[in-house]
Amino acid sequence: MEIAILIIFILGYLGITLEHSLKIDKLIPALLMMALAWACVAFGLDNFTTWFDSSSHHMVEGFKSLPLDGHHGEMSKMAWFEGTLLHHFGKTCEILIFLVGAMTIVEIIDHFNGFSTIKRYISTNKKKKLLWIVCILAFILSAIIDNLTATIVLITILRKLINDNKTRIWFAGLIIIAANAGGAWSPIGDVTTTMLWMGDKVTALKLAEYLIVPSLICMILPTLIASFLPAFKGEFTPTKDDSSNDNPFGPTMLYIGLGMIVFVPIFKTVTHLPPYVGMMLSLGIVSLIAEVVSNRQFSLTNVAEEVEHSSHDSSPTFKALGKIEMPSILFFLGILMTVAALESLGMIFMFGQSVQNSIDNDLFVMLLGGGSAVIDNVPLVAASMGMFDMSTFPVDDHIWHFIAYAAGTGGSMLIIGSAAGVVAMGMEKISFFWYLKKIAWLALIGYLAGAAVYYFFFT
């Protein structure tokens, strides 16, 4: 049955990586392989000889001799199965609820057109200066609102500044590198860093302390090199500024929303509660302010008209909830729970032990970063979290920070290697081979330079 589960995982993963060729959303193979993998675990439970206890991170002793069903509280294989499934589902839902909260806050900001505030700070017609501005903004924003959202926001702003797509895609390519670098040092900047943070592998302060310099190098060096390329020389003609859609409360909601997202790691540090609790608190506060602000915008002449409609129709929170990326949330559910099935049988832990005995751990992490450029970094990080024994690699061990850096920035080397790259590819119709030829080498230089800085100064 273990072979069947591995085949399901491989086929499902091929379906995810070949999403654009098959014209099937990656959500579908992710959900299918999750359900089928756990079904195989259930069917083959009586014949399994090993089981991994994820809560204490060790193999269960004597699992082979346990009965399938226990009586009167007797420990059994079914009890381990049910407890492990509930444990993994709970841990996965913590991450998903956290992401739902963050996405909703971002959509509330967008409801008030808050991100247009950023455009007001860009007052240049020089390409080189604009390159540095958008890359620095991408680095900072991605650490707060995650690299995917930061990429969407900045490309949207670029469209309002530059009409020419051939010019704009160069900026988009460097935004991908900067956004992924910015997301790597923040516990809320990338799904993988969020997983490591919520999985108690890293703390927010140490993650920022160890990775902000390597991540800065990963962003600055490619941007510096690119600023000497012909594509970023000269000037551009800014498009006509249209401020008709500006909302007077936009800047206020932008600062409040970003501030409340930054507040989440502080809340966790002070209360020691799981991060999703802090995110729900932040969402509640932002939603309350959004409702109050939204109600103030209604004039008295519209009172009668508003009474005829459901309050949900005009609620910024409910509109935001309707716009969040639920397919991405369900995709993460499928991926994380599938990896959990492999981990429960001890496959990932035993693979990790063999890796540690055969190659250097830091070399393995570097290869993991390269692998994240080809395949999604979420399952790679999820798998790596189950490979290393916490007794050998405790919280904030350098290996966890190195994994965060490698998985977060390595995906920039191919446009399909990160969520930021995929969304930029769709928004600007960037060719895979154009990116490979024009941008990938810059991303590689940044990745290796940042990794070298981390290795020599923090290991």
Q: What is the pLDDT of residues 386-437, one digit of tens each?
A: 887 767 788 889 999 999 999 999 989 988 788 888 888 878 888 888 999 9
Q: What is the pLDDT of residues 88-144, one digit of tens each?
A: 899 889 988 988 998 899 889 888 888 888 877 787 888 999 999 999 999 999 999
- pLDDT given at position 240: 66
Of 35-44, 238-247, 337-346, where does mean pLDDT reach its minimum?
238-247
Mean pLDDT of the chain: 86
Please report, for the chain, the start and end positions of each structural domain, with discontinuous segments joined by +: 87-324+356-459
pLDDT at 454: 93
pLDDT, tens digit, for every residue of 141-200?
A: 999 988 888 898 898 888 888 888 888 999 999 999 999 999 999 998 888 899 899 888
| Per-residue pLDDT at 72 | 63
Summarised one tens digit per residue, pLDDT across range 255-308 is 999 999 999 989 988 998 988 999 999 999 999 999 888 876 654 445 444 444
Name the pTM for this structure.
0.82
pLDDT at 300: 40
- The two most distant CA atoms of the chain are separated, in Å, by 79
Mean pLDDT value across residues 311-322:
75
Q: Give the pLDDT of residue 193.
A: 92
Q: What is the pLDDT of residues 232-260, one digit of tens each?
A: 998 887 766 655 566 788 889 999 999 99
Pick the residue with more confidence: 58 or 93? Answer: 93
| pLDDT value at residue 58 | 79
Does the pLDDT of residue 312 top 70, yes or no?
A: no
**pLDDT value at 313 more than 60:** no
